[in-house]
Amino acid sequence: MSIFEYNGSAVVAMVGKNCFAIASDRRLGVQLQTVATDFQRVFKIHDKLYIGLSGLATDAQTLYQRLVFRHKLYQLREERDMKPQTFASLVSALLYEKRFGPYFCQPVIAGLGEDNEPFICTMDCIGAKELAKDFVVSGTASESLYGACESMYKPNMEPEELFETISQALQSSVDRDCLSGWGGFVLLVTPTEVKECVIKGRMD
């Protein structure tokens, strides 16, 4: 079994009208055995920028720590927050540094840029960026998520509808994946507020 499937994960991000949502499951497992049910895979970089790291949990945490460190240095030097596009390039560069011994993570980056323009992107474990206008998915439940998002997503959703859509897509997808699930974490970011929500789900 692939090292990407060692802990199990599901991460998804969607774009709405002047807003975005990013969501993940909460399971941490060692292959088929569940170890924790409150594991965080979505991390805050600043108020309008978040990153979800699917794949190997230890690499996700290490990568997150390095990203926070680099972002803080940027804040000190530039006295401002990073733009999502800039941050995506930073993640990509950090990953490509380890081209021949990679972090086993597939990041999902979501943020609000200048003029509150939503930005989402994903990349592979060595930093090949993939920008999307609608939604991005990653993790062991990615195939289910592609199916669910492709059916449920529509452009220009209002925040309330976007929240419902991403939650339904996440829940129905992880229920068909053995390695992810145990509830979900959904983050809805609009220009004025951030809504964090833990959703309950099947416990198997």
Partner 1 sequence: MSRRGDWVYENNGGTCVAIAGADYCVVAADTRLSVGYNILTRDHSKICELADKCALASSGFQGDIKALHKNLAARELLYQHQHNKRMSCPAMAQLLSNTLYYKRFFPYYAFNVLGGLDSEGKGCVFTYDAVGSYERTGYSAQGTGSALIMPVLDNQLKSPSPLLLPARDAVTPLSETEAVDLVKDVFASATERDIYTGDKLEIVVINKAGTKREYIDLRKD
Residues that bind partner 1 (CB under 8 A): 143-144, 146-148, 150-152, 168, 171-173, 175-176
Closest approach of Cβ 146 to partner 1, in Å? 5
Structure tokens at 45: 């970089």
- Using CA atoms, how far apart are residues 54 and 138, in angstroms rounded to an integer? 6
H helices of 114-158, where?
142-152
Would you mind telling me the total number of residues written for the chain in this entry? 204
Closest approach of Cβ 105 to partner 1, in Å? 22
Owner of token pair 């992810």:
180
Structure tokens at 30: 């060692």
∠ Cα 15 84 54 (to 5°): 70
Closest approach of Cβ 173 to partner 1, in Å? 5
Q: Which is nearer to partner 1, 49 or 162 (CB)?
A: 162
- Using CA atoms, how far apart are residues 176 and 182, in angstroms rounded to an integer? 12
Q: Which is nearer to partner 1, 120 or 148 (CB)?
A: 148
Q: Which is nearer to partner 1, 81 or 130 (CB)?
A: 130
Closest approach of Cβ 160 to partner 1, in Å? 18
Q: Which is nearer to partner 1, 47 or 143 (CB)?
A: 143
